[in-house]
A and B are shown apart, each in its own frame.
Chain A
């Protein structure tokens, strides 16, 4: 089976779903995508100011017909996923969700993080990597642990395991 990259709306919706923020309300007026947590199907389309995330992942421009979408792989997408404030906000929301679900249990938080973002259990080497990363980037306080966890979650949201399905 060839792997398939998530389409633009799926990338955005999956980011919000994993972070626990996705609003499933149906119907009603469209909203500006980067200021909303509603599903992408309810975004407001503004042709002269396209949403960065959706645009980067090849959403049609709503100007000309698009019988088949492009599926591109570009450094612009990587820079966006690595450095955009909107993407990072999803990682921080995910860390908050994990901390609430498993207070103080880093092992369980990491397990959940991998299950939510990648749909699979965390492997032993990955767990060791993740723990080392959090220790390196935290002074041991709960707040610092959660911030370091957010940085790790940010890595997961950049991973091919998140962006592609088999």
Chain B
């Protein structure tokens, strides 16, 4: 078998195991686990298929606010900013390189009203009243930083660890490492609130140099959630079934004189799996059995909140059914990008996303799913305290806020800090690699020990860097 071959269609045949031999009966037992835990059943095993240590989170929902939400208007109040509004950045502040070169533009006041919320007294602005109600489940991280200064680089890095294209997405790594819990559904699913494509498109959820089977599958809420799921026009279920029977018979005949070729068995199984997916996926996206109360929680019936709310509700249904990694883009196509008209932009973005986000947290919690489902909120970077075009803010990769909840995260925390104007992360600075390492840590994976061999080099998700911020977790 060549190093580049992967049978991803199902468990190995007994004959295949006997032919390979050498690994003993322990390996046969492991194979059983492998086939169950990792429905895509690799013939060439990844570096491991079970967590390195006890996981706190089993699944991830990543709410990606695409375009860059403004930390000093949402989670990171800066009284000094309003005091110095209209002036230039004081000399004592190091000048960052920003996308639009606004380092010397006048500082822009935040017009928000701030209050402390929850038992922990977490600061949240009046733009996120519903999220504010959930802060005791949330760990706010005010000290994130990244290298990508533009959208393409930033979104690419937040997904894959580096601003340049070509590496596997975090979801693909998790899929590779842990596999799926439901072999009839993809392990890594991507949704967008609108039909718009996020910056970089499918590269954000690609498997990079790993086999394509680990990539995210974009799902389209509606009659055909996955591509090519529905029977073509003119093909009845009866005819479809009959065609598959003929196909399997042809394949068995072909296999008869090639019985030691496990790949053929895998291909036959992949058709059985495809058939089951056709049965299961429509049920996944069928929201008709959700109660009115649940739909209310996610903002159904309101044109602002329903699109993202629908994605969030689908995400809950997916994690319930064992999907490992769900990513939802809110504001797909850089809609959080507010170089001008900060107020109008973020008022709209928050109005659309705040209630469904809180609804998701509450729903997961009431169903006991929040304990082992990690929810991540954030964009590719934040925004500058300096103004742009009078009433907007430039990109800020040097200090911004994200939050995590559930999946073993201790809620009611505020981690790290930026400087007095929210420009640079100063305390407990967490680079994207550290954030990814933290996510992997909560899943029971050590970031440097999840290895994929590529071009003779052991590759890992955080490019030999990154330290998990373990204090985020309970206990």
| Contact A72 B246, CB 8 Å, known A48-B201, A78-B273 | no
Interface residues of A in 71-129 (CB under 8 A from B): 71-80, 82-85, 88, 123, 126, 129
Closest to A60 in B: B209
Cβ A83 vs Cβ B232 within 8 A: yes
- B261 CB → nearest A CB, Å: 5
B167 surroundings in chain A (CB, below 8 A): 64
Cβ A79 vs Cβ B227 within 8 A: yes
A50–B203 alpha-carbon span in the complex (Å): 10
Cβ A73 vs Cβ B2 within 8 A: no
Closest to A3 in B: B261
A45 located at the interface, meaning its Cβ lies under 8 Å from any Cβ of chain B in the complex: no
Cβ B271 vs Cβ A78 within 8 A: yes
A73 surroundings in chain B (CB, below 8 A): 6-9, 263, 266-267, 270
* Choice from B200, B201, B206, B243 contacting A154 with Cβ under 8 Å: B243
B247 surroundings in chain A (CB, below 8 A): 155, 158-159
Cβ B203 vs Cβ A52 within 8 A: no
| Contact A84 B228, CB 8 Å, known A73-B8, A133-B242, A159-B250 | yes
A75–B261 alpha-carbon span in the complex (Å): 18
A84–B278 alpha-carbon span in the complex (Å): 14
A44 located at the interface, meaning its Cβ lies under 8 Å from any Cβ of chain B in the complex: no
Cβ A50 vs Cβ B202 within 8 A: yes
B251 located at the interface, meaning its Cβ lies under 8 Å from any Cβ of chain A in the complex: yes
| Contact A123 B277, CB 8 Å, known A5-B263, A48-B201, A50-B202 | no
- B8 CB → nearest A CB, Å: 5
A76–B212 alpha-carbon span in the complex (Å): 10
Q: Count the B residues whose beta carbon is within 8 Å of the partner chain — how many?
A: 61
Cβ A71 vs Cβ B246 within 8 A: no
A49 surroundings in chain B (CB, below 8 A): 201-202
A77–B229 alpha-carbon span in the complex (Å): 11
Cβ A78 vs Cβ B254 within 8 A: no
A133–B235 alpha-carbon span in the complex (Å): 13
A56 located at the interface, meaning its Cβ lies under 8 Å from any Cβ of chain B in the complex: yes
- B352 CB → nearest A CB, Å: 25
Cβ B455 vs Cβ A83 within 8 A: no
Cβ A74 vs Cβ B8 within 8 A: yes
B6 surroundings in chain A (CB, below 8 A): 70-73
A7–B270 alpha-carbon span in the complex (Å): 18
Most A Cβ at <10 Å: residue of B201, B209, B240: B209
A77–B277 alpha-carbon span in the complex (Å): 13
| Contact A70 B264, CB 8 Å, known A75-B270, A84-B228 | no
Most B Cβ at <10 Å: residue of A66, A83, A129, A161: A83
A85 surroundings in chain B (CB, below 8 A): 232
B282 located at the interface, meaning its Cβ lies under 8 Å from any Cβ of chain A in the complex: no
Cβ A163 vs Cβ B267 within 8 A: yes
Closest to B165 in A: A63
B129 located at the interface, meaning its Cβ lies under 8 Å from any Cβ of chain A in the complex: no
Cβ B166 vs Cβ A82 within 8 A: no
Most B Cβ at <10 Å: residue of A78, A130, A164: A78
| Cβ contacts B199-223/A at 8 Å (1 or 0 each) | 0111100101111110001000000
A160 located at the interface, meaning its Cβ lies under 8 Å from any Cβ of chain B in the complex: yes
- A88 CB → nearest B CB, Å: 6
B249 located at the interface, meaning its Cβ lies under 8 Å from any Cβ of chain A in the complex: yes
- B218 CB → nearest A CB, Å: 12
B40 located at the interface, meaning its Cβ lies under 8 Å from any Cβ of chain A in the complex: yes
A71 surroundings in chain B (CB, below 8 A): 2, 4-6, 263
A26 located at the interface, meaning its Cβ lies under 8 Å from any Cβ of chain B in the complex: no
| Contact A155 B271, CB 8 Å, known A3-B261, A68-B3 | no
Interface residues of B in 229-254 (CB under 8 A from A): 229-232, 234-235, 239-240, 242-243, 246-247, 249-251, 253-254
A34 located at the interface, meaning its Cβ lies under 8 Å from any Cβ of chain B in the complex: no
B258 located at the interface, meaning its Cβ lies under 8 Å from any Cβ of chain A in the complex: yes
A130–B270 alpha-carbon span in the complex (Å): 23
Closest to B273 in A: A75
Cβ B231 vs Cβ A70 within 8 A: no
* Choice from B8, B254, B261, B274 contacting A82 with Cβ under 8 Å: B274
| Contact A161 B254, CB 8 Å, known A83-B228, A129-B246 | yes
Cβ B208 vs Cβ A64 within 8 A: yes
A160–B247 alpha-carbon span in the complex (Å): 9
A160 surroundings in chain B (CB, below 8 A): 250-251, 254-255, 264, 267-268
* Choice from B8, B263, B271, B455 contacting A67 with Cβ under 8 Å: B455
| Contact A83 B264, CB 8 Å, known A78-B271, A133-B242, A160-B255 | no
Cβ B228 vs Cβ A80 within 8 A: yes
B254 surroundings in chain A (CB, below 8 A): 159-161, 164
B208 surroundings in chain A (CB, below 8 A): 61, 63-64
- A29 CB → nearest B CB, Å: 23
Apart from the given pairs A71-B4, A71-B6, A159-B250, 17 other A-B contacts in the complex at a CB distance below 8 Å: A2-B261, A48-B203, A58-B212, A63-B165, A70-B212, A73-B267, A75-B277, A79-B277, A80-B227, A82-B271, A84-B227, A84-B228, A133-B243, A154-B243, A155-B243, A158-B247, A163-B267
* Residues in A lying within 8 Å of B, measured CB to CB: 2-3, 5, 47-50, 52, 55-56, 58, 61, 63-80, 82-85, 88, 123, 126, 129-130, 133, 136-137, 147, 151-152, 154-156, 158-161, 163-164, 166
A-B contact pairs, 29 of them (CB 8 A): A2-B261, A49-B201, A49-B202, A63-B165, A65-B455, A68-B2, A69-B4, A70-B4, A70-B6, A72-B8, A72-B211, A73-B7, A73-B9, A73-B270, A79-B226, A79-B229, A79-B274, A79-B277, A82-B228, A83-B229, A83-B231, A129-B246, A152-B246, A155-B250, A160-B250, A160-B267, A160-B268, A163-B267, A164-B263
